[in-house]
A and B are shown apart, each in its own frame.
Chain A
Amino acid sequence: MGLLQNLAYSMVPWQFAWTGLVSCACLVLLPVTSGAADPPVTAIAFAPDGESVVLASQAGLSVHDWPDLNTVRQLSTTIVNIHDMEFSPDGGSLAVAGGTPAESGKAQIFAWPDGTSSCELQGHDDSVLAIAWKDDSSIATASLDHDIVVWDVTTRQPSERLKGHSRGVSDLCFLNGYDLLVSSGLDQNLRVWKTESGKVIRTLNNHTKEVYGLALRPATLGIPMIASVSNDRTVRLWQPTIGRMVRFAQLNAIPLAAAWLADGSQVAVAATDGYVRLIDPDTVEVLETIPAVSGWAYSLAVHPGDGSLLVGGRSGQLKRIIIESSRR
C-alpha cells in the first residue's frame, strides 16, 4: 500500500497527459487570468479552520473551498506581485505581502473571514518577499531592499528596521519563546536577531548560494529547529538558538519552498523540478519524491487538519498531495 493517496480533479487534456505519469497525482489548473498563460501560484495559506485556502499570484488573491478548490471569492488587493501570506495567531487577520518590483514593497492586512482590507503597511523600496506574525498586533516584513521591518499593526507604523543582510531578505520566522527572529537572505546567510533589541546575535553562513526559504518545525521537545532551502541544492536543518547547523540533505534539484508536516516528523520541500520531497530530519534521507507540477514549484502549504500538502507552480498549477495519516 502506498503512502500517498490521490484525488482527481478536472484537468485540461494536455495536463492530463502529463500527470498520467503519476497516478497518485491530483492536479488542477487554476483559472486566474484570461491571458495566454496563467501566472504562477506564489503563495498559499490555509484558513485556520481548514475550510478554505487562499491562493496568490500576479492575478491577485482568490479564496477557494477545501478540498474541492472551487473559487469562492476574490479579494481585492493593491499589491501587484504577491510573494507571501500568513494568518495571524488568533486567525482573525490575513497578512499579504509583495509589492511593485523595483519600486515599492508593502503588506496588506485583511480581516478574516470577511476579507475586508483593514490596513496597508508601506515602507520598503522593493518587493516584500516574506511576512511573519510575531503576535496578533505585531508583524515583520522582509524585502528585496535588504531590510526587515517590524510593524505595529495597530498604529500601522514601523517599530524597528533591521539592517544586516547585504542582499534581499527572502524569509522570516519568529521563535517567540526565545525572543528571536530568524531571517534568510539572498546573501547566502541566515541571521538570528534579538527581537527586543533588533541586534543580530549570530550569522549562520553554511549555505553556499542564495537561501530561498525557511520553515520552523512545529513545537516538539527540545531545541527549536528550522529548515532552510537554498540555491545550493541543500536543505539545511538548524538550531538557531545555539547557532548550530545540525545536518543537511543534498538534493538533485533546487529547493524553493519548505513546510513541515503537522507533527514535525518530516519536512516537505518543493523544488525546481516540480517534485515535492519528504525528508526525514533525523537522517536527512529523502523518504519520498512526489511529482507535483510541471516546472518550478514555488509554493507549498500543509493543511492544518487533514495534513494534505498543497503545491503551487507555474501557469497556475496546483496539486494536492494527501499524506497517509500514519505519516502526518
Chain B
Amino acid sequence: MSTIVLLLAFLFPGDEAVHVDLNTVDFDNRVIPVLTKAGCNTGACHGAAVGRGGFRLSLYGGDPHFDFRSIVLELEGRRVNLSQPGKSLLVLKPTESIEHGGGTRLEYEGTDANLLTKWIAQGTPRIQKERLIEFRVSPDVHVAARIGAELQLKATARFTQGAVIDVTQWTVFTPEDTAAVVIDSQTAQAKLLRRGRHIVVARYLDQVVPIEIFVPVSDAVIDLADAPRHNFIDHEVLGLLSTLRIPVSQQANDLTFLRRVTLDLTGRLPTVDAIGEFVTASDRRQRTELIDRLLSSAEFSEYWTLQIARLLRIRSQPQDARGAFAYHKWLKKQISDGVPYDEFTREILTATGDTHEVGPANFYRTVGGARQQAEFTSELFMGNRLRCANCHNHPLDRWTQDDYHGLAAIFAKLESGRVIKVKRVGEVVHPRTGTAAIPRIPGEKFLDSGSDGREAFAEWLTSQDNPYFAKAIVNRLWKFMMGRGLVEPTDDLRATNPATHPALLTQLADDFVQHRYNLRHTLRRIALSAAYGRSPQMLSGNRADKRFYSHALRRPLQPEVLADAVSDITGIADQYGDATPGTRAVALFDANIKSDALDILGRCARTESCEAADQTGGGLTRKLHLFNGEFINRRNADPDSRLGKLIAAGRTPEEIVKSFYRLALSRNCTQRELAFWNEQVAAAIDSEQRQDVLEDFVWSLLTCREFVTNH
C-alpha cells in the first residue's frame, strides 16, 4: 500500500535509513510547527537559552537538527517512548496528562497531539520531505474601515515540490501591540481595537513576515491635496497621513525654519546677521540657498564629523589619545572633502597599520573581540542586530549562527593593539559545532578561511545592490533631521520591524546610491521637503502623532550643541580638558576629554551606541544642573559675560531683553514677553537688583524648553 518515496525526502547525516512513505510524518515541516504553534519553543519556555525544566529547544524551531536531538536522542531517548508512543513525555507534558509547568498546550488526543504520537509510533524518523521556499500572508497590508473591525488572516507556504499549502493553522500570528490587535490563535481572526498603524508578525517554520494594519485615527476623511509637496518625501509622508486621516500642521515660519536647519546642519544657533538677512525675503528659493550655504560651510564639516564620530564611537583609549586624534582628523577630512560614504566605509573596514598614523585603523580598537566587532559592524553599517544570532538563529530575521560567527571569524584574524595587522591564525569557535567558525559574508557565502575576508566583506557591503548599507545610513540621517527614524531602533532594520514608510526608505536609499553616497545630498533632500519644514505647533487632530511627521518633533539639543550654545549666548567659553582654549564642544576629538559641563549635560561616552542616549536629552541630572547648578549661573554672574558687557555699555534692559531673545531663540520677543520683563525690571529698587533680574532673565531663557530643544 505504501509508496516508497525515499529519494524525494531529505535524510540527515547520522540518521539511520528509514522507509519513507506518504504517511511518514515530516519532522521538520510538521512536528516543528506544532511545537511552535503551541508555544513550546518560545523564549519564555523551552526555547530559552537554558531551556526549561531540563528540556531545551531551539528558539521558534530555528534549528530542527538541535530539536531532534533534544527530543529523540538526549537522555537516552527518554522523551519519546517507542514501545508505547502515547506514553511519551513529548505527548504527556503538553497535553498536561502529567504535571506541566507550561499548562495545557495541546488538546488531549487532538489533531496535534495525535500527530506527535503518530510520528513517535513511526520510530521518530528525521526526515524533511520538502523544503519551504516561500511563506506568504494575506492580507500583508490592510486598511480597516473602522475601529473594532475584524480581519481574517491567512497564510500559505510554497514548498520545493511546488505544492502551495494553506498553513494558517500552523502559523503563529503575534501582534506588536496586544492591546491594539487581538488574534484568535485557532481561527486567525484579528480584531482591531486601537487606531493607528499596527504590525502583526506571522511565523511559520523559520520564516517571519510582517502584516501592516492601519486603523484611521479619525472617522472623517481628510483632504491633503493642497498640502505642500516639495519632493518624493512629501508624496510618501502625505500618502500615509491621508490613509491614517491625520491632518498636517502648517509650514514653520521662516525664523523657526532658520533656527532648525542651522542647528541641524551646523550644530549652531543662527547669528543675528543671519537672522536679519533671512527675514528680509521669504520664499522657497531663499530656503534652498540657505541650506546650500550651510551644507558648504566649515561649520557643517565640523558638526557632521561629530555626528559620524558618534556613530563610529571615536574615543581615546586608556592612556592613549593619539589614535582618537588621528581617527577624528581623518574623518573630518572625509566629511570636508565630501568623500562618498561608501568609499570611506571601505577604507575603515580594510584599514591596517599604526593607529596613531592611520586614522581609520582605530575602528578595530573600538570594541573588544571579534564577536563584538561583528556586532558593532553589523549594527553600524547594516543597521542589523546580528548579536541575536550569537546563541541561536535570529528569531525575527534571516541571520543564522553561521552568519554571526562567520562575520566574527573575518575579524578574528586581526591583531588589535596599537598596530592593526592581519594575523596568520585567528579564529572564533562556533558554539554549535565546537569548531572554528568559517568566515562568512552574512546571508551570502562562506569565504576562504586562509585569507583576510575584510576586502570581500567591504566589497559586498558597499555594492550598489546591498540591501542594508544605504538604508542603514539614510534612516539615521532621516532620524537626525526629523527626530524619529523611519525604522526604530535605527540598528534594527528587518522585515519584521518594517519602516513606517517602506517606500520612502527605499527611495531615500536609492537616491543616496544614485548620488554617489553623498551625505550632503540626502541631508539636503530631507531639509528641502515640506515634511521637514512643518511647524511644531500641533493641531487637535495630530497631537498624538509621534511617528508620521504631521508636525515637527521637538528634539533635545545634543550635549555638545547645548554647551556651545550656552557659551555663545553667555559669551563665556568653557574649557575642555587640555584642548586649545576656545575649542568648541562639537569640535572635540575625544569623547572622554575632561569636562564637567558635558558630563552634566549627559554626553555619550561612546562605549556603547549613542543613539539611545540621544532620545533622553540628558534626563533629570541635566535638568537639575541647568536649573540650579553652576553651569549657567557662574557665567551669568561673570562681569566679562555678554550680559555684563551689555550692562557696562549702558544698554537699556529692554535692549538687552530683545537682544537675548534673538540670540537664544532666533526670534523677536513678543509684546507680552517684553511687557513682562519690563515689569520685572521696573520693580527693581536699585541697579544691583536690576542686574539680578536680568541674570534671572538670561537664566530663564537658557533653561526654557524653547532653547534646549530643536523644533
Please, how many angstroms separate the alpha-carbon atoms of A273 and B434 in the complex? 15
Which stretch in B82-90, B333-341, B627-635, B662-670 binds the other chain?
B82-90
**Are A233 and B83 in contact, CB atoms less than 8 angstroms apart?**
no
How far is the CB of A83 from the nearest CB of chain B, in Å? 6
**A240-263 interface (Cβ within 8 A of B):** 252
**Are A35 and B121 in contact, CB atoms less than 8 angstroms apart?**
yes
**Are B89 and A101 in contact, CB atoms less than 8 angstroms apart?**
yes
**Are B77 and A39 in contact, CB atoms less than 8 angstroms apart?**
yes
**Are A80 and B81 in contact, CB atoms less than 8 angstroms apart?**
yes
Asked if B655 lies at the interface with its beta carbon under 8 angstroms from chain A, I say: no
Tell whether A37 pairs with B89 under 8 Å between CB atoms, given A102-B98, A103-B98, A296-B73: no
CB-CB < 8 A to A83: which residues of B?
76, 78
**Are B93 and A38 in contact, CB atoms less than 8 angstroms apart?**
no
Asked if B292 lies at the interface with its beta carbon under 8 angstroms from chain A, I say: no
Asked if A42 lies at the interface with its beta carbon under 8 angstroms from chain B, I say: yes
**Are A35 and B82 in contact, CB atoms less than 8 angstroms apart?**
yes
Tell whether A144 pairs with B54 under 8 Å between CB atoms, given A40-B76, A58-B81, A295-B15: yes
Asked if B221 lies at the interface with its beta carbon under 8 angstroms from chain A, I say: no
**Are B124 and A37 in contact, CB atoms less than 8 angstroms apart?**
yes
Please, how many angstroms separate the alpha-carbon atoms of A127 and B81 in the complex? 14
Asked if A59 lies at the interface with its beta carbon under 8 angstroms from chain B, I say: yes
How far is the CB of B245 from the nearest CB of chain A, in Å? 55
Cβ contacts B1-40/A at 8 Å (1 or 0 each) = 0000000000000111110000000000000000000000
Which interface class (under 10, 10 to 19, 20 to 34, 35 or more) fits A?
A: 35 or more
Asked if B99 lies at the interface with its beta carbon under 8 angstroms from chain A, I say: yes
Asked if B79 lies at the interface with its beta carbon under 8 angstroms from chain A, I say: yes
Asked if B123 lies at the interface with its beta carbon under 8 angstroms from chain A, I say: yes
CB-CB < 8 A to A18: which residues of B?
17
**Are B77 and A35 in contact, CB atoms less than 8 angstroms apart?**
no
Tell whether A58 pairs with B121 under 8 Å between CB atoms, given A101-B78, A102-B93: no
**Are B77 and A37 in contact, CB atoms less than 8 angstroms apart?**
no
Asked if A236 lies at the interface with its beta carbon under 8 angstroms from chain B, I say: no
Tell whether A42 pairs with B77 under 8 Å between CB atoms, given A35-B121, A103-B98, A295-B14: yes
Asked if A36 lies at the interface with its beta carbon under 8 angstroms from chain B, I say: yes
Please, how many angstroms separate the alpha-carbon atoms of A252 and B79 in the complex? 26
Which of B17, B54, B82, B92 has the most A CB atoms < 10 Å from its CB? Answer: B82
CB-CB < 8 A to A294: which residues of B?
14, 16
CB-CB < 8 A to B54: which residues of A?
144, 167-168, 186
**Are A14 and B17 in contact, CB atoms less than 8 angstroms apart?**
yes
Asked if B271 lies at the interface with its beta carbon under 8 angstroms from chain A, I say: no
Tell whether A101 pairs with B82 under 8 Å between CB atoms, given A35-B121, A37-B124, A295-B15: no
How far is the CB of A215 from the nearest CB of chain B, in Å? 17
Tell whether A315 pairs with B93 under 8 Å between CB atoms, given A58-B82, A59-B83: no
Cβ contacts A33-47/B at 8 Å (1 or 0 each) = 101111110100000
**Are A81 and B81 in contact, CB atoms less than 8 angstroms apart?**
yes
From the candidates A14, A39, A186, A295, name the one contacting B82 in the complex (CB within 8 A): A39
Asked if A298 lies at the interface with its beta carbon under 8 angstroms from chain B, I say: yes
CB-CB < 8 A to B595: which residues of A?
none
**A284-322 interface (Cβ within 8 A of B):** 294-296, 298, 314-315
On chain B, the number of residues with a Cβ less than 8 Å from chain A's Cβ atoms is: 29
Tell whether A36 pairs with B123 under 8 Å between CB atoms, given A80-B81, A295-B16: yes
How far is the CB of A129 from the nearest CB of chain B, in Å? 8
**Are A81 and B124 in contact, CB atoms less than 8 angstroms apart?**
no
Asked if B307 lies at the interface with its beta carbon under 8 angstroms from chain A, I say: no
**Are B121 and A36 in contact, CB atoms less than 8 angstroms apart?**
yes
From the candidates B78, B98, B99, name the one contacting A81 in the complex (CB within 8 A): B78
**Are A37 and B76 in contact, CB atoms less than 8 angstroms apart?**
no
Please, how many angstroms separate the alpha-carbon atoms of A36 and B121 in the complex? 7
**Are B14 and A273 in contact, CB atoms less than 8 angstroms apart?**
yes
**Are B77 and A58 in contact, CB atoms less than 8 angstroms apart?**
yes
Q: Which residue of B lies closest to A231 (CB)?
A: B74
Please, how many angstroms separate the alpha-carbon atoms of A35 and B84 in the complex? 9
Q: Which residue of A lies closest to B100 (CB)?
A: A102
**Are A314 and B122 in contact, CB atoms less than 8 angstroms apart?**
no
Please, how many angstroms separate the alpha-carbon atoms of A14 and B11 in the complex? 15
CB-CB < 8 A to B15: which residues of A?
295
How far is the CB of A248 from the nearest CB of chain B, in Å? 14
**Are A298 and B98 in contact, CB atoms less than 8 angstroms apart?**
no
**B64-121 interface (Cβ within 8 A of A):** 73, 75-79, 81-84, 87, 89, 92-93, 98-99, 121
Please, how many angstroms separate the alpha-carbon atoms of A221 and B619 in the complex? 71
Please, how many angstroms separate the alpha-carbon atoms of A10 and B122 in the complex? 24
Please, how many angstroms separate the alpha-carbon atoms of A38 and B121 in the complex? 10
Please, how many angstroms separate the alpha-carbon atoms of A42 and B74 in the complex? 11
**Are A37 and B434 in contact, CB atoms less than 8 angstroms apart?**
no
Cβ contacts A55-69/B at 8 Å (1 or 0 each) = 000110000000000
CB-CB < 8 A to B18: which residues of A?
37
What are 6 A-B interface contacts by the 8 Å CB criterion? A35-B83, A37-B82, A37-B122, A58-B82, A58-B83, A233-B434
Apart from A18-B17, A252-B435, A314-B16: 17 A-B pairs, beta carbons within 8 A: A35-B121, A39-B81, A58-B82, A59-B82, A80-B84, A80-B87, A81-B78, A83-B78, A102-B93, A102-B99, A127-B78, A168-B54, A272-B73, A274-B14, A294-B16, A298-B76, A315-B16
Q: Which 3 A-B pairs have the closest CB atoms?
A: A37-B123, A36-B123, A39-B82
